Amino acid sequence: MSADTRTVEVGGAHPYTISIGAGLLKHGALLAGTIRGKHVLLVSDANVAPLYAQRVIDALHSVRADLRIDRFDLPAGESSKTLGYFAETIDALAAIGATRDASIVALGGGVVGDLAGFAAACWMRGIDCIQCPTTLLAMVDASVGGKTAIDLPQGKNLVGAFHPPRAVVADTTTLRTLPMRELRAGLAEVIKYGAIRDTAFLGWLETNIDALLGGDDTTLSDAIARSCAHKAEIVERDPFEHGERALLNFGHTFAHAIEAEQQFDGLNHGEAVAVGMVLAARLSSTLGLAQQADTQRLTGLLQHAGLPTTLPAGLDPDALLARMQLDKKAQASGLRFVLWHGAGDAEVIADVPEEAVLSVLHAARLS
C-alpha cells in the first residue's frame, strides 16, 4: 500500500477499515485481507466489469491462488436493483456451492453495492461483503454504513438490510473512467458533509473544487477520506438511523420527490440532492432558522461544481408536496425535514408547515 493511501476506521459492533488511494484494486493483500473461505462471488455491472474485474481477480489470485472466484455482472443502472437480479445473484452463490465463509466482492457504483450487499446479508443469513466502490457517490456514501437494498415497483430501497461490509477498498484511479456527470453527482454528497457538519470542509471544497473536477488523485482522496470520516462518526453512533444518521438525508426529502415525479428518468440522485439541499436551505430561511447568505454560499459552490440548483421545469409544487406527504405517513410527527441553522449546523425539524414548503417550491420555479 502506498504512503498516499488514506484509511478511515469505522467502529461499532462490526468494525471495518475504509482504504482510499490510487491503484488499490491491484493490491491483493488488501483485497483478500478479510476473505476467510475459498469461495468469492465478484458482483459488478456491464460498464465496470470490462474495465476492472480482471484486475481484481488477478490481484486476489496473486495472494490467494486457492480462491475460487466466480463472476456475476448486472446490467448497468438503477433498473437492475430488482428482486429478479437479486434472485439471480443468489442463484450464482448456490451454483458455486458458496459456504458460510464465502465472500462477495461488490465492484461498482451504489447499485452494485446495494444489491450485492443485500445478497451477502441474505445468503446463509449473512456472509462477508467487501465493497470496492467505483463511483464517487459510492466511495463517499453508499459503500459505507451497511445499508443494503433493492427496489420494488412501489418504491426505492423498500427491501433491504443493515449489513456492514468487512472492508471498503476505494481505488481513486477508477474515477478516471467515470462519466463527468456521475463525478459531479458524487460531489453533491461530498458537499453535503460540509453543509451539515463541517464549515471548514465547505471552505476547503470552495478552494479545491476545480482540482476535484479535474480528477486530481490526491485532492479526491482527501475529499473522500474526509467525507468517509464524517459518515463513519455518524454511523458508529447511530447504525440503525434512530437519530443523527437522519442528518445524512439533508436535501433528500425534496430530492426523492423530484426523482419520483420525474419517474427516475430526469435528474440523477446527486443532481436531485443538489437541488434539494438548496430548497432545504431556503426553507430554513423561510422558517427563520438561517440566513439567506448561507443559501447563497451553498448555491454558489454547487453551481461551481456544475450541479443544478433550481427546480426542473414542469414539476408541479402540489405534486411534489403530495410525494413528501407519502413520507409523512411513515412518520407520526408530520412533515419532517433536515434543515440547517446555517452552514455546518443541521437538525431534523418535525411538523414543518405545508404552506412554507409550498411557498419555497413555488419560488424555486420562478428562480
Catalytic (active-site) positions: 125, 147, 189, 231, 241, 245, 249, 252, 256, 269
C-alpha cell at 182: 456521475
Site for ligand GLY in 144-183 (CB under 6 A): 145, 147
Partner interacting with residue 245 (select from ligand NAD, ligand GLY, none; CB below 5-8 Å by kind): ligand GLY
**Residue 76 binds which of ligand GLY, ligand NAD, none (CB < 5-8 A, kind-dependent):** ligand NAD
Distance from C-alpha of 220 to C-alpha of 138, rounded to nearest angstrom = 13
Closer Cβ to ligand GLY, 216 or 327, answer by number: 327
Phi, psi for residue 314 in degrees, rounded to 5: 90, -5
| In the complex, minimum distance from the CB of residue 293 to ligand GLY, in angstroms, rounded to a whole number | 28
Strand partners, 161: 148
Residue closer to ligand NAD, measured from CB, 206 or 244: 244
Radius of gyration of the chain, Cα coordinates, nearest whole angstrom: 20
Who contacts 33 (Cβ-Cβ below 8 Å, separation ≥6)?
167
82 or 291: whose CB is closer to ligand NAD? 82
- Specify the DSSP element, H or E, that contains 190: helix 180-197
Q: Give the binding site for ligand NAD (CB under 6 A).
A: 45, 47-48, 51, 76-78, 81, 108-112, 114, 134-135, 137-138, 141-142, 145, 147, 156-157, 174, 177-178, 182, 185, 269
User: What residues have CB less than 8 Å from 200, skipping those under 6 apart?
Assistant: none
Q: What is the DSSP string of 211-229?
A: HHHTT-HHHHHHHHHHHHH
CB 301 to ligand NAD: min, Å = 20
Say whether 293 sits in a helix, a strand or coil. Answer: helix
Output 126 or 353, the one with its CB closest to ligand NAD.
126
Q: Indicate the residue type of 219.
A: T
Q: Is the separation of the CB atoms in 40 and 69 below 8 Å?
A: yes
- DSSP annotation of 109 reads S
The cell 449489513 sits on which residue? 163
Query: Residue 153: helix, strand or coil by DSSP?
Result: coil
Q: Report the partner that residue 321 touches, choosing among ligand GLY, ligand NAD, none (CB closer than 5 to 8 A by kind).
A: none
Binding mask 234-273 for ligand GLY (x = CB under 6 A): -------x---x--x-------------------------
According to the binding rule CB under 6 A, does residue 232 interact with ligand GLY?
no
Q: Which residue is nearest to ligand GLY (CB)?
A: 248
Of 141-149, 207-215, 329-337, 351-359: span binding ligand GLY (CB under 6 A): 141-149
Binding region for ligand GLY (CB under 6 A)? 141, 145, 147, 241, 245, 248
